[in-house]
Structures are given as structure tokens and as C-alpha cells.
Amino acid sequence: MTVHGHDWVMQNQAYLTAMLARVRQALQLHLQMPAANGAGPGRDALPAPDPAAGAALEILVERFRLTPFERDLLVLCAGVELDSSFAALCREAAGRSNPTFSMALAALPDSHWSAITPSGPLRYWKMIEAGPSDNLVSAPLRIDERILHFLAGVSYTDERLQSATRPHRPSEAGLLAAHRVVADRIVALWTAADTRGDALPAIQLVGEDDAGLTELAAAAFALRGLDMRVIRGHEIPRLSAERELLTRLWQREAALAGSGLLIVLDDSEQDEGERAIAAFVERADVALLLAGREPLRLAGHALPRFDVKKPDRTDQAALWRHALGADEKRDSGEDGTEVDVTLQACIDRLVNQFHLGAAAIVNISAMRARGAEPMTTADVAALWETCRAQARSRLDDLAQRVETSATWDDLVLPPFQKQILRDIVVNVRQRSRVHDLWGFAAKSSRGLGISALFAGPSGTGKTLAAEIMANELRLDLYRIDLSQIVSKYIGETEKNLRRVFDAAETAGAVLLFDEADALFGKRSEVKDSHDRYANIEVSYLLQRMEAYRGLAILTTNMKQALDPAFMRRIRFVVQFPFPDFAERAEIWRRVFPSTTPMAALNVDSLARLNVSGGNIRNIALGAAFVAADEDRPVTMAHLLRAARAEYAKLERPLTDSEIGGWS
């Protein structure tokens, strides 16, 4: 809501009062000397008060190009709401409390019929509404509430727009230098259009940082002297009549309040939604910006477009230093080398792992007082966890987040495979040092991502290994079922994968792609168009994995079904073998938590069950529930009962060699 100064309020009130008095006098003259043809004596000689510069009524006249008759008709409708004498005059003239077009045509100076047409500004911009009636000229007229309050000097957003749009004020974080350049160029485009007398062009901002695009848009509007409101693409009506009303109301609001509109495009917009947005953009002849990860497609022409990147690592580090007060400490010359080193190490870790925008960095840093010292281990951990939470919001909508608490002690695997897994963790942890500080990234930009294939039978620990690695790295783990992402529609699989990777880039999360054979079958030999597009999908996934800043893991139960040509592009391949007797015994020793009551369990007997680690956990868990229900420790009898249930699920018989001698 805009609040005017006291002097303006008084001047505006005085001018509106004078205009109301003039129109009241016109009504009184009409009642004294009615003229059927609208040319009553003395009516056209009514003097109008000198226009008050900046008065709300004059703003409406100027911005909506109202004629003197249209201005007076608007004042007449306002008078009914502001002065009870108008209602009495209307009842005397037309038999009702509201004015009519017939009354206005007869009573007001300079009357013209075009003022009551749907294309006239009063009706087109919804300034007045005609109520139900047998004919147009006798319909009761009422001023729109937004216009009435504007005339009275109170500016607020129309209620019909408040439900679809929201205000946004520029962040205190300010803009990156590169983004400031874009904002200046946007304003230059609008200024050039003003100079030519053209309509302001809608402009697209394309990038991955939603908050960054929004802040850039707010800055551009501010440079233009406009406030900003935001609407999401899916809020624009699909029905043309509803969309036309929204368009006109927004154009009116932009003229009244000096506002610009940002349309935030959703990743999931379908063709119908895109058509609705495009239709709105083409009709809304006001300052308009669009922001999204993909540009909006308009038939026949392209909108001006700026590609906006997230801050790079150097910019992010500078933002963190400023937000955490490191710059102030350095400038002050305080003796705090140890604190500075700890703070810088913290910033380096955050920058190397998370790809956050300026607004996110400022918001996260607000949890710690600027320049507070010393930077403790708890501070570092808290910042790290807050970054994780901030970065995961979009990914939560696209994949399943897996809670991780497992450690290396929970994984039973041959030493060679376990060492490879530890090496993968080392690669993730030291990625920035090797690639950036030691210069490997400068020699080649290919293959800098860390990708792995986990292959082995179901239940051999592939998902558990991913959980352990994510927990070790203090990163989120997201599971993506490739069989659900693969689409029969050309281009949709790549689109689905792009959304996942774009969202994951912010957090550098660990991505676990299950059922790799759903996409990675032996398709190098192209026999038809389906195979060709399948190869394109695989190549796209591998390309994104190779460029991904985090760790991407593929799992498969059928390594032999994967094309060797594709596998060569994967950095690490880990085979998860079916556990032998000794490994099964070790799994049984570790499967029960230390707080579980147990009675005389024979690990060697249990290890004879020829099942994977996943099945062993299911049997142990099933036995624990039965024992808990009986309020007894877990016994071999409970485990036998649970084993029978697990084998039934596997559609396998329990053999005497596996359970012989169990008591």
C-alpha cells in the first residue's frame, strides 16, 4: 500500500471535493431544467476547477486517457459512495440510488455515446460496472472499489490480484556485478522502447537460481522506479475469459501503482499452460519479466532473453566472507589468525560443496552473528547442515531422499571392494583440491564428475554402501528409480533427468540411480529409431554424470545386460558379490543392535542360510518383532519362523542342510 504525505492528501481531497461539487451542480441543473437531448441550458458552462498536479483523479485522466465526460461520469459514480446527497439526486432523477448512463448523458457536459461502449476506458479498464437491467442506458452504475480508494488517496493492490500475485522487495544482499549489468541492459531496452514510442518488450531471464533471477528482476524494476509483484506461471488462468480479466486488471494495476510483474515459469508447465502464459504475455502491454530454467516459447517471435548464471566459486566465497563478517575482521587488523584460518577453511568447504545463490548465502549466514568469534566446530557443522537443508528443497520434489545413519561397520564386503568405496569418498572429499588447486581441471574439462556403478544381486549391500558414503560425506542421498524416469515420449527422459541434475547441482547430493538396466541395455547396435533415441538418453545421462559436481551412482542386478561401451564412461565399477559362509556369519554378528535381547543364537548355524545380507536383515527384523510380541529375547526358534516367511517370499524351500540341527 502506498502512503502519501499529508500535504498531498489535503490537496487531493480539496480537488476531489471541488470536482464532486461541480458534478453535483450539474445534476441539480439537470433536475431544474431537464433536456431530453442532453443539451440543457447552462450545463456546458459549468467551470471545472484548475487541474491539481498529481491529484489521483488527474492521474486517472492522464494514464487512461479519459475525456472530460468520462472523468465527470467517474466522479458521479464516486459521489454516490462518498456523499449521500448524490444518492438523493440520483433517486430524484432516475428513481434509483445509483446513476445511469441515461442520466449522465443528459446531465453532464460534453457527453458522448462512445463513453459507454465496452471498448471505452471506463468499462474496458473495469473502472465502472453496469448492473443488471433491461437495457444498457438504464443500468445502475457503480464505481470499482479499487478506483474509488485510489481517488480518495489510498493505494493498495486489487483483491483479485492479491490472491494470484505477491509483493517482493529487493534483498539486502544486493546484486552480483554480472547481474547488475543484466539489470542495466533490461532497463536500457525499456528506455529505447520508450524513445521509439513502442510498447515495453517482455524480457526473459533464464537460469537455475530461482532466488537470483527474482532478485535481478526486482533490481531491474527498481531501476525503472517500479515495485515488483510475482506470479507463478500456473496461476495464470487457462480459460481465455478469466485470463483476459487478469490481463486487464494487471495492466490497470501497473498504471495505478507503478508496478512491474515477474512471471516465474514452472519446470513442469505443459503445453496448455505455456499457451496460457504466452497469451497473457502477448496481451499485457506493461513492464513484464519472465524467469525460469527454460525460455517460454511464443509463436511467431522470440522475446529478448538474458542467460543468468549462478555466482561462480569466487563470487560465492566473497559472498560468504562478507555475510560472515570475515572482510570486516581482515579490515580491522585484529589479531585473529587462528580464527581467520578456521573461518576461511569453513568457507572453502561450503563453496566447494554447495552451489548457492547470493540470497541463500545471506539467509544462511544470518543464523550466526556477523564477525562472531571464534568460529567453532559446532558453527561449521551448523552452517553445513543449514546449507544441506536449503539446497534440498527442489530435489525433494523430484526424488526420494534416503535418511542415512549407517557406518562402515554395517557393511560386510570383501576388502578390495570396500577399499574402492573408500577411495570414491576420498575422490569426492578432495575433488576441489585436485581439480582446482592442483590444476587437473585446467588440463581437461571432461570427466570431472565422479560416477560409479554398483553391480550385484539384490540384497548384497549396494544401497547400504551408498548410504554409508553419503553419511561419511555428510551429504544427502537421493534415490531415483530409472525405470520410472524413462519415458516412451521422445525427449521426456532427458527432460526428467535434466530436472534431477539441475536440482542436485545446488547441493552436490549423492544421487543413486536404481535399475540402471532399464536404460543401459545393450543398445549400441541401432536397429530402429527406438534404439537410436534410447542411446541418446543413455548418452545424456552419462554426460550429466560426467559433469556433475557430486557423486552419481548407478545400480544394477544384471551387469551383463549393460553395454560395455557405456560402462567405459563410468569412473568406478564395484562388484557386490553374493556373500559366502564367512561373510554371512559376519553379517549375522552385526545385524542385531547391541540393545536387542538375544538368547543362545548360533551364528554358524544361521550362516548356513544361503541368502544375501538384505534377506538376513529381514529375517532378523521379523524374528525381533515376534520375540517382542512374546516379551522374550530373540531365539533360534524365532529366527526359524522368520526364515520360513522370508524363504516363502523368495519362493524357495528351506533345505535340511540350511536348518538341520536348529533348536
pLDDT in tens, 294-320: 888 877 678 899 999 988 888 888 888
Please classify residue 594 by burial: count the beta carbons closer than 10 Å to its beta carbon, then call 0-12 exposed, 13-18 middle and 19+ buried. Answer: exposed
pLDDT single digits (tens) 440-476: 877 766 667 899 999 999 999 999 999 999 999 999 9
Give the pTM. 0.77
Would you report the helix, strand and coil content of the chain in percent, each value rounded to 5? 55, 10, 35
> What type of residue sits at position 499?
R
Q: What is the mean pLDDT of residues 219-238?
A: 94
Vertex 295, ends 294 and 299: CA angle to 5°?
135
Residues 6 or more apart whose Cβ sits within 8 Å of residue 44: 109, 110
pLDDT single digits (tens) 561-617: 777 777 788 899 999 999 999 999 999 999 999 999 999 899 999 999 999 999 999
Residues 6 or more apart whose Cβ sits within 8 Å of residue 631: none
> Is residue 27 within 8 Å of 93, Cβ to Cβ?
yes
Q: What is the mean pLDDT of residues 13-27?
A: 93
Average pLDDT along the chain: 86
Q: Is the pLDDT of residue 227 over 50?
A: yes
Domains of the chain: 6-156 (no CATH), 161-307 (3.40.50.300), 313-391 (no CATH), 408-575 (3.40.50.300), 581-659 (1.10.8.60)
pLDDT single digits (tens) 475-503: 999 999 887 787 766 678 888 888 899 88
Distances 90 to 26, 98, 109 between C-alpha atoms, Å: 12, 6, 17
The residues facing 400 across adjacent strands are 479
C-alpha dihedral (263, 267, 272, 278), degrees to nearest 10: 30
Between residues 272 and 116, which one has the greater pLDDT? 116
Please classify residue 527 by burial: count the beta carbons closer than 10 Å to its beta carbon, then call 0-12 exposed, 13-18 middle and 19+ buried. Answer: exposed
pLDDT single digits (tens) 84-142: 999 999 998 888 889 999 999 999 999 999 998 999 999 999 999 998 888 888 899 99
- The three cell numbers of residue 616 are 538376513
Q: Give the pLDDT band (50/70/90) at residue 232.
A: very high
Between residues 217 and 368, which one has the greater pLDDT? 217
56-64 and 6-32 helices, crossing angle to 10°: 80
